[in-house]
Structure 1
Amino acid sequence: MKKTNQEIMNHEYLMTNGLGGYSFGTLDQVNCRKYHGLYTVSYNPPIERTHLISKLQELITIDGKVYPLTFENVPSEKETETNLINFTHEGIIEQWFQIEEAHISVERTIAMKYGSNHLAVRYQIASEKPVKFEIVPLYNFRDHHDTITPDISEYSDAYNQNENVLEVSASGKSVFLKIDGLEKVSYHPNRIYSQESYYPIETQRGYPDIERHAIMGSFIVDLEPGQNKLDVLVNITNDFESADAVFLNRKERYQQLIREAGASSEPFKRLVQAADDFIVYRKTTGKMTIIAGYPWFTDWGRDTMIAIPGLTLETGRSAEALQMIEGFLEMSHMGIIPNNFPDEGQPPMYNTSDGTLWLFNAMYAYYQTTNDLAAVEKCYPQMMRIINHHIQGTINDIYMDHDGLLSSGNEETQLTWMDVKVNGWVVTPRHGKAVEINALWYNAIAIMHEFTQLLGVKSENIEIDFGNLMNKIKKSFNALFWNEKDQNLYDLIIDGNAIDIPRPNMIFAVSLPFAVLDEKHWKAVVGYVQEHFKMPYGLLTLRREDENFHKTYDGDLLSRDGAYHRGTAWGWLIGPYLEAHFKTYHDLQYVKASLDTLMTHLDEGIHGSISEIFEGGAPHAQRGCSAQAWSVAEAIRIWKMVYKK
């Protein structure tokens, strides 16, 4: 049968290994973007990710006729053949294919062992007649961000017939494949290029969209009628675990995750499994961290702190939450935690005004979940130093003004979560006093006030009267940010002047644990956000009436960055919105209905996960990263909020 390319592109799978490596593709096994690949590993977890095997082409010959199990896109065609009839992902990925004309069915199972680079692919083939089954690996040793046609002369292969092990090497790297489960396997060297792989998603994103892969040869096995099974084992070293061991590892991990999270409903089980994709080991710190999104992000401080409550605390992984908080505290510089760890391994960047403030929120959530006052006591001195740096002034022009509010940045910086800067253009200038930064600042001061009381720290031992500072911040905030005319909050104050460009950031003045906005204004703000920014899976970043509103998010980098925070909807914002709505209206049914709508997205993009962004215009197609940490985290957090009530 045939599916439209859009249908195929919008249904993906993802499996990760806790080290930054992943197996990623469409459910139909048709590669539609440069990041799609059977086997991508991280050589410096979780960065330096290298795409090694694009896919395994499977060819079935019966009665002299060749049937491909999976297909490739053709640039001139709008539809692509597919044999897929079913798919599941519960620890391991299982795909069922059927070639009706030949009366052949194939069950294909994929898994990466957690914490290692072992990958296993199992084929279970049912046929009424003898079958020749050919597996053709497509190699492309490249950075996972690139699109290239390799120089095949740089590739070499060596086959050990006795062990059915093939080594393919290029650019100082190797990948080993072993065919297991059958005695009679033959390897046929054949140094050629594959046909062109066309990536329509890269066409949408304005990137090179065609490449070829190196084919070094193929494995061929002859199968008798009936049920047959064979395994392909993959690693970057010449040692292998059996497919059974790899599958058992993933099944047991899935069951452990579900058990520790107390997950019973199917949507929540899927979210818990998705959460595990983002929590990875960072070699440079020796601690766990959070990948912001797949396939292209690394770990970001802001994203990590926002995601910690949902991904870890609400899934029974509080020890990892504390490890992350402590790890980022240790790497703080002048009171600012790292915002980003570049993929190429350079030093971290500290260009954030909110990531550090979100750490206070994460620490408060940790304490609320665990009652671990010892951890609070351990982190308290570092958190106090951070507050002092903000009060006295620190890097990136971040300082507390005379009114108690926090000012940050200048015309050339992008320090809030709306942080796009392209070709010197700061797309959403938000220097000065931003509404959510000061909501977070008040929240951080209130948290320190509570921690100070819990720890019994005497006032003479601290320089800051947190209670008085809270009152000062709240008074100034409500005086400056409240827009009486439109019954909403200004997004930004620059040099005492309110910038009247309404944005969804006002919701944080209600949603955070310690709300800075006077309660008498909550309904107005939540109602305004609901009317102007709410869409099924998140919040728009501009009102539709704004002249800069972008309905679509596509084209080259400049076009996409121009729309990124100017109309595009963000999935993670559904969390603070629903929390603020419940705090204000106490309407549990509304929150549940909104959450149910969000759960329908689990069958789009990467199945079982939630995307980074959605187009501002209907039908709000998913864009950006197909799986985003804070989107999944906020869905989990609100799910637990709803079903604890």
Structure 2
Amino acid sequence: MIDIRFGPQVCGDPTTGSSREWLVPDGRGGYAMGTVSGLRTRRYHGLLVVAGETPAARRVGLVSLDPAVILPSGERVRLGAHEWSSGEVDPRGFELLEQFALIDGVPRWRWRVGDVVIERELAMAYGRSCVAVVHRLVSGGPVRLDLAAVCTWRDAHGERRADGPTPRMDPVAGGAVVEGSFRLAGPDWTPEGQWWLGVRHREEAARGLNAEEDLWYAGRFSGALDKPGDTVSVLAWADDLAEEPPAATGLVEAARRRNRAVVAAAKPADPVEATLALAADAFVVSTAAGPDAVAGYPWFGAWSRDTMTSYEGLFLCTNRADEGRALLRAYAATLSEGMLSNTADTGRVEYNTVDATLWFLHAVTRHVTVTGDTDLGDELLTALHAVVEAHLAGTRYGIGVDPTDGLLTQGGTPGTALTWMDARVYGVPVTPRTGKPVEVNALWVNGLAGLAELTELVGRDATALWGLHTRAAASFRERFPAPVGWLYDVVDGPAPAYPLGGAAHHDDDLLRPNQLLAWSLPYAPLEPDEATLRRITAGLFTPLGPRSLSPDSPGFVGRHRGGPAERDSGYHQGTVWPWLIGPFVDAYRRAGLPTDDLLVGLEGHLTEYGLGSVSETADGSPPHAATGCPFQAWSVAELLRVRRNG
């Protein structure tokens, strides 16, 4: 894997050291997450964040373990870090950090206090809601180490205040059970029990959200570090509370071994692919319903559009086809009226996308093509044919095939945003894209051909499907090329307020990246044209991937910043989306254009924001600072896929 480590100039600066985040997943949707400096900048940061019935229903438990070194002189040196409502940062333990490193996916901090050097490593027990934190004396000593256990128990999207109920603390051997929900265990436990008031999260303030909470100082652990090699370890876990997990040092080593095995199984070609293979592993989770995929950390759960768009990169490019097969079967069971359920983040099943189902068709056909698993194709064939039939007949939200040209139209319901550009502000879609969106119809053409080939592969007649494909492809080639030199983003949209006798419909020629799918998919309706791709590149390409709208377009937003309404207004109005690097590179390759220099920026990005991973979004204007989730599934999956398939 690539070498990810930082020295004191990054670690010791509360800005640079706190803008780089690490993630340690538990394989269930929970995680430990924080910054290089140790300063918590998000409400979502914590050492034990527990997934609930769905990966999105997370709760924060153990917030931090703040170390303090007691030197032989009696001096107490605090190594933790917190920002307070006053803006003051105290303590400032990051100023004593001489290195942070991410080694085989395990974060390691190294503090120096004179000749005393202490390292911390942190890992989660894969498949359990359990974190192990190990402190080791590297040199110097003897010293004593105190560890302040700072806790809460709340929804990950919220905060808890001291004016509410005091957390319940039940004493148990070696520690305590907090709120009956998670347990702390370690050496020489001393209960304390007091509120720390006004802890501030600077990233939440920047996102226009409530930035303060109160934390519960539950107690402290303490242990001697007499000689180099001695350790002081703490465990925290939220399942099987009566059963103590294995030793913390063993869990750290087990995590390191597992991470190496995950990388080896993916058979990466170079350190970048190895890093991306481990990054992909964070998103593949086990739930009560079987394997699933988290869309992004720290706040997303499982979204079917993201899962199916990411499918090839997360599962097929990492040699996880068995888990992928189970996932596809489970998702097929959610089909209703020809539509795939979208997300369980809200706790209810929703059918509110036009494209997730089409990405599902693509995922199944890619699975069968890559693995040769015709049994799965045969098993799902009836359901896939029912998807096509439902779209021909018409389904929810005005989604259906236009009988005049065989193309797919959508968005007949006010207030809906059914494509991946689905942001809404105060209930009003920012980019409604009513009509026939270009990528939706590229997926439709691609899905019909893929299903026809799958049908023939299992020995059945596909004449009708090929007929539908031929007609839709021909209509696509006729309708989408625009006089401006690229493809329309939407055709046959609702007409603006034209004078009497004006146009009956509107074709949107704003320069957006959605058209890339018309050249990039396996059964794309168009052959790429170099001149068109050059125009798209000039208007949209950035080092972190394509913008969602060209800078010279009306409504372009160059900074993805501010409160929720401001951010959502710019979400698809110029913001960069790294996942689009996949169709961009594929289109270039099909045109015979060089691609070696297109991935350099994203590869460098692996050490800039979410360490070893790829962000959800970035600013459309230079220097294209990363925004959104630091760890995003389809961003990782598409970068890995185009590297593996190059």
Query: What TM-score comes out, normalization by structure 2 length?
Result: 0.92
Q: Quote the Cα distance in structure 2 between the aligned partners of 1:176 and 1:567.
A: 46
The code of the aligned residue for 1:540 comes to R
1:182 corresponding residue in structure 2: none
Q: Could you tell me which amino acid in structure 2 is paired with residue 389 of structure 1?
A: A
Residue of structure 2 in register with 1:26 after alignment:
35
What are the superposed Cα offsets for residues 132-154 of structure 1, whole Å, 9 maximum, x if unpaired? Answer: 21111111100011122245753
The answer to whether the 8 Å contact 2:308/2:363 transfers is: yes
Q: Deviation of residue 168 (structure 1)?
A: 3.1
Q: Among 407, 411, 416, which residue is 1:409 paired with?
A: 411
Task: Report the residue type matching 1:279 in the other structure.
Answer: V
- The structure-2 alpha-carbon separation of the partners of 1:220 and 1:458, relative to structure 1 and needing over 3 Å to count, comes to closer
Q: How do 1:82-481 residues align onto structure 2 when only pairs under 5 Å count? A: 82=94, 83-100=96-113, 102-126=114-138, 128-150=140-162, 153-160=165-172, 163=173, 165-170=174-179, 173-179=180-186, 185-194=187-196, 196-236=198-238, 237-239=241-243, 240-283=245-288, 286-343=289-346, 346-402=347-403, 403-410=405-412, 411-458=414-461, 465-481=464-480
User: Deviation at 1:247?
Assistant: 2.2
The percentage of counterpart residues that share the same residue type is 30
**1:539-578 Cα deviation digits (max 9, x unpaired):** 1011101231111111110000000000100010011101
Equivalent pair of 1:92/1:109 in contact (CA under 8 Å): no
Higher mean C-alpha deviation, range 302-311 or range 81-90: 81-90
1:489-508 alignment to 2 at 5 Å?
A: 489-493=487-491, 494=493, 496-508=505-517
| Matching residue's letter, 1:142 | R
**Distance in structure 2 (CA, Å) of the matches to 1:7 and 1:603:** 12
Alpha-carbon spacing, 1:226–1:380, altered in 2? closer, same or farther (3 Å): closer
Corresponding residue of 2:499: none
Aligned to 2:134, what secondary structure does the other structure show? Answer: strand
Aligned Cα root-mean-square deviation (Å): 1.9
**Superposed displacement of residue 55, structure 1:** 0.5
Equivalents in 1 of 2:169, 2:194: separation in Å? 13
Which runs of 5 or more residues in structure 2 are unaligned? 1-7, 495-504
CA shift for structure 1 position 195: 5.3
Residue aligning to 2:87: 76
Q: What does residue 561 of structure 1 align with?
A: 568
What amino acid does structure 2 have at the position aligned with 1:76? G
Q: Higher helix share goes to which structure?
A: 1
Amino acid paired to 1:124? R
Distance 1:148 1:87 in 2: 30
Query: How far, CA to CA, are the matches of 1:206 and 1:458 in structure 2?
Result: 56
Following TM superposition, by how much is the alpha carbon of 1:226 offset from its aligned partner in structure 2, in angstroms?
4.2
Comparing 417-426 with 569-578, which one deviates more in the overlay?
417-426
CA distance in 2, matches of 1:321, 1:222: 47
> Per-residue deviation at 1:241?
1.6
State how far apart, in whole Å, the 2-side matches of 1:191 and 1:48 are.
Answer: 27
Match of 1:592?
596
- SS of 2:634's equivalent in the other structure is helix
Matched, 1:528 2:535: yes
| 1:618 corresponds to 2:622 | yes
Q: Deviations over 1:431-476 (max 9, x none)?
A: 11000000000001111221122222136xxxx6122222211221
Q: Which moved more, 1:360-369 or 1:185-194?
A: 185-194
Q: Which moved more, 1:185-194 or 1:375-384?
A: 185-194
Letter in 2 for 1:476: S
After the TM superposition, which segments of 4 or more aligned residues of structure 1 sit over 6 Å from their partners?
Answer: none
Q: Aligned equivalents of 2:202 and 2:634: distance in 1?
A: 27
Question: Counterparts of 2:18 and 2:570 in 1: how far apart (Å)?
Answer: 22
SS of aligned partner of 2:525: coil
Asked if the contact 1:16/1:112 (under 8 Å) is kept, the reply is yes
Checking the alignment, whether the CA contact within 8 Å between 1:18 and 1:277 is kept in structure 2 is yes
Alignment partner of 1:66 is 2:66: no
Q: Which residue of 2 aligns with 1:539?
A: 546
CA contact under 8 A between 1:31 and 1:197: conserved in structure 2?
no
Decide whether the 8 Å contact of 1:477 with 1:516 is kept in 2: yes
Where does structure 1 lack aligned partners over 5 or more consecutive residues? 180-184
* Deviation, structure 1 residue 36: 0.7
- Using the alignment, how far apart are the partners of 2:138 and 2:17 within structure 1? 25
* 8 Å CA contact retained: 1:138, 1:213: yes
- Residues 385-429 of structure 1: CA distance to partner in whole angstroms, max 9, x if unpaired? 000000110111111002100001134210000001121211012
| CA deviations over 1:150-170 (Å, ceiling 9, x no partner) | 45753232434xx4x212332
Deviation at 1:104, TM superposition (A): 1.6
Mapped contact 1:488–1:524 kept (Cα < 8 A)? no
- Structure 1 residue 234: deviation in Å? 1.5
- Residue type at the aligned position of 2:634: W
What CA distance in whole angstroms lies between the structure 2 residues aligned with 1:216 and 1:421?
A: 41
Q: Could you say what secondary structure the match of 1:348 adopts?
A: coil
CA-to-aligned-CA distance 1:230-278 (integer Å, 9 cap, x gap)? 2111112132221243223312321221221102522111111110100
| Preserved CA contact (<8 Å) 1:551 1:616 | yes
The alignment of Structure 1 onto Structure 2 pairs a total of residues equal to 617
For residues 581-626 of structure 1, what are the alpha-carbon distances to aligned partners after superposition, in whole Å with 9 as ceiling and x for unaligned? 1111242xxx222223311011011110000000111111100000
* Offset at residue 499 of structure 1 (A): 1.6
The corresponding residue for 2:23 is: 14
Paired letter, 2:80: T
8 Å CA contact retained: 2:303, 2:344: yes
SS in 2 for 1:215: strand
Q: 1:152 to 1:97 in 2, by over 3 A?
A: farther
Q: In structure 2, what is the Cα distance between the partners aligned to 1:535 and 1:581?
A: 15
In the alignment, the residues of structure 1 paired with residue 163 and residue 224 of structure 2 have an alpha-carbon distance, to the nearest angstrom, of 32
Structure-1 separation of matches of 2:195 and 2:448: 61
Letter matched to residue 189 of structure 1 = P
Equivalent residues of 1:50, 1:142 under 8 A apart: yes
- Say if 1:357 and 1:441, in contact at 8 Å, map to a contact too: yes
Contact kept? 1:37, 1:55, Cα under 8 Å: yes
TM superposition shift of 1:45: 4.1
- Determine the C-alpha separation between the residues in 2 that align with 1:524 and 1:33: 44
CA drift at 1:531? 1.0
Query: What SS does the aligned partner of 1:603 have?
Result: coil
Partner Cα distance (1:449, 1:264) in 2: 33
CA distance in 2, matches of 1:93, 1:435: 43
Q: TM-score, normalised by structure 1?
A: 0.92
> Does structure 1 conserve the Cα–Cα contact (< 8 Å) formed by 2:18 and 2:38?
no
What's the secondary structure of 1:450's corresponding residue? Answer: helix
Distance 1:193 1:32 in 2: 19
Residue type of the partner of 1:7?
A: T
